[in-house]
């Protein structure tokens, strides 16, 4: 009985998440109501409120799960050496491809900007170590350079998604990593 309840709970949460993502494709989070999510999911509002406080809580949970999944995916690899920055960028892009629909939706203007900041934090954790490791710049300047590179890379990824991923993850990784070597 308990296993059945857990499966039902998982299913309900999955349907609510999918419904919010569907709605985010056409309207901003601020214009989406719990009622609209429930209508899309064909679930009553009391069921929604037994799982989430509001639409923002649901969005935050989606983002948390995706960021945790991204961290787990990237932690499978050792990216300590500078030469591996290209491989890490490629792995990050492969992850984006595997979660294309949700990443494109959450990085669009309809979500909130917290997801973009979280992705930047993950990228900063993995990329700036190797990007700034052998850099002669002082720590403060390296932090600013890293932020510049990461934020630019996020916008390149958003543009790539908008262009139907017209290049492979490897090609995009090479392009993104080439930006840091230009003078």
pLDDT in tens, 26-66: 999 999 999 999 999 999 999 999 999 999 999 999 999 99
CATH number at residue 45: 1.10.10
Q: Which domain holds residue 83?
A: 58-179
- Token pair for 87: 């491989």
Helices and strands (H and E) in the chain: how many = 9, 0
Mean predicted lDDT score pLDDT of the chain = 84
Contacts of residue 56, Cβ cutoff 8 Å, sequence gap at least 6 = 29, 112
Residue 120, pLDDT > 90, answer no
* Judgement on whether residues 39 and 127 belong to the same structural domain of the protein: no
| 174 contacts 143 by C-beta, under 8 angstroms | no
* Judgement on whether residues 81 and 64 belong to the same structural domain of the protein: yes
Number of domains into which the chain is organized: 2
* Judgement on whether residues 15 and 98 belong to the same structural domain of the protein: no
pTM for this prediction: 0.83
* Judgement on whether residues 158 and 104 belong to the same structural domain of the protein: yes
* Judgement on whether residues 81 and 98 belong to the same structural domain of the protein: yes
* Judgement on whether residues 122 and 169 belong to the same structural domain of the protein: yes
């Amino acid at each position: 009985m308990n296993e059945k309840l857990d499966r039902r709970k998982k299913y309900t949460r999955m349907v609510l998440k999918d419904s919010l993502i569907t709605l985010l494709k056409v309207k901003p989070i601020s214009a989406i109501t719990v009622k609209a999510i429930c209508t899309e999911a064909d679930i009553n509002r009391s069921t929604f409120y037994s799982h989430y406080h509001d639409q923002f809580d649901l969005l935050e949970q989606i983002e948390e799960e995706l960021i945790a999944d991204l961290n787990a995916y990237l932690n499978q690899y050792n990216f300590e050496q500078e030469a591996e920055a290209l491989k890490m960028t490629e792995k990050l892009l492969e992850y984006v491809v595997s979660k294309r629909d949700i990443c494109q939706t959450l990085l669009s203007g309809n979500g909130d900007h917290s997801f973009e900041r979280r992705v930047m934090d993950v990228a900063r954790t993995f990329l700036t170590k190797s990007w700034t490791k052998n850099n002669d710049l002082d720590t403060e300047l390296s932090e600013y350079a890293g932020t510049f590179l990461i934020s630019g890379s996020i916008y390149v990824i958003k543009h790539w998604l908008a262009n139907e991923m017209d290049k492979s993850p490897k090609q995009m990784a090479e392009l993104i990593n080439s930006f840091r070597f230009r003078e």
